[in-house]
Amino acid sequence: MRNIATTISAARDEAEVFLDSCSRELAWDRQRHQERWRQVQHELAGTGTYRHTREELEFGAKLAWRNHTRCIGKLHWRTLTVRDCRDLSDPSSISAALVDQLRWSYNDGQIRPLITIFAQDTPLTQGPRIISHQLVRYAGYVQPDGTVVGDPSNTGLTARLRSMGWQGCGGAFDRLPVLLCDSQGRLTCHVMPPEVSPDVLITHPGYPWFADLGLRWYAYPTVSDMRMEIGGVTYPAAPFSGWYVSTEIGARNFGDTDRYNLLPTVARKLGLPVDHDRTLWKDRALVELNVAVLTSFEAAGVRMLDHHTMADQFHRYVQTQRRNGNAVHADWSWIVPPMAGSATPVYHQAYDGTTVRPNFFRD
């Protein structure tokens, strides 16, 4: 009983802080604020939790984006579209809602920030969960010699899905189904139709051989394995979509040694010596990979920002917030881009890395 009481007490404290934020930023009058606080306390006393209004849910999701320390896209936090799917419970309905999210987010290539929020956890029940890191991911197949075909970051999920009966084609860019866990703990697999988040074929404007590498990447990310916490309420399934920064694909997904590790391949194709780091072959290959990604997405009509533009936008956001006397919470190591970092204004700044709620968390 002590643990339950402690949990309710913590939820009450967080709810009070969140409603204060709602009152302040949504311009509630004093009477409305007090009445809502009385309602929430009554619900907490009776059930150990409470249900957000539609307005609170939308505002809380936007605050979770604004507060997240690892996101560089905070300038756009007010534009987030919030879909309330808290009443969906069976896996087929949840899967259909995820397909709708992908379709609405894609928006014919003009990617729109969007979040779909499913049922909350309560003291008696758990909400659904999405095990997959993103709604679209590529398989990673471990070979007998220990090498990996596909994305090495997804070998565990790939093996798990194969044990459940899914079988891919064994290629480098096989799409994985989404793995759901419902409120009863049952696992189910769900295929997302590729047309709602199509692949972009990666070519290069100056090197025709780039097309022969057979590279591709899906149009935008939808992070799906993070829980969202708003005012003492936990939403374990709240997938959110946004557009890519080019370096996320060109520098990290394609370039990292524990991902597709393409820098040596591209460098050799460029005719660069790869036996000594001081030739800067990694840097030159990295630039051309990012040129290929940026120009390919542009040619496909899919919204994407380069790291300089995104860093400038974030810097403008920070300056505005600080002029208004507001704290900016950010993790410097995630805000600075993985290439040309010192050429961006964010490199020369310091940020408060404190985690505040509402926010997103990964278990």
Residue 2: is its pLDDT beyond 80?
no
Which pLDDT score, from 0 to 100, does residue 7 have? 77
pLDDT at residue 268 is higher than 50: yes
**For the chain, counts of helices (H) and of strands (E):** 10, 16
- Relative to beta strand 244-245, strand 304-305 is parallel
DSSP string, 34-46: HHHHHHHHHHHHH
Please state the rounded mean pLDDT for residues 237-254: 98
Q: Which of 176, 195, 178, 196 is nearest to 187 (CA)?
A: 178
User: Has residue 1 got a pLDDT over 60?
Assistant: no
Q: What percent of the chain has pLDDT over 70?
A: 98
Distances (CA, A) of 174 to 139, 177, 210, 340: 5, 10, 20, 31
Residue 254: the pLDDT is 98
b/e code 312-321 from CB counts within 10 Å (16+ = b): bbbbebbeeb
Rg (alpha carbons) of the chain, rounded to whole number = 22
pLDDT number for residue 363: 81
pLDDT of 5 above 70: no
State the chain's mean pLDDT as an integer: 97
For the CA atoms of 295, 300, 305, 309, what is the dihedral angle to 10 degrees?
50
The pLDDT tens digits of the residues spanning 269-305 come to 999 999 999 999 999 999 999 999 999 999 999 999 9
Per-residue model confidence as pLDDT tens digits over 309-334: 999 999 999 999 999 999 899 999 99
Cα(35)–Cα(121) distance, integer angstroms: 24
Q: Look at residue 3 in the predicted model and tell me its pLDDT.
A: 63
- Residue 154's pLDDT is 98
Select from 134, 72, 153 the least CA-distant residue to 337: 72
Tokens 């939808």, residue?
A: 222
Whether the CB-CB separation of 291 and 321 falls below 8 Å is answered with no
The CA distance from 296 to 216, in Å, is 9
- Kindly report the pTM of this predicted structure: 0.96
Q: What are phi and psi of 179, to 5 degrees?
A: -100, 115
Q: Is the N-terminal amide bond of 236 cis, ω within 30° of 0? A: no
**pLDDT on residue 247:** 98
End-to-end CA distance of the chain: 25
Q: pLDDT tens, 182-239?
A: 999 999 999 999 999 999 999 999 999 999 999 999 999 999 999 999 999 999 999 9
Q: Residue 272 is which amino acid? A: L
Query: Is residue 134 pLDDT above 50, yes or no?
Result: yes
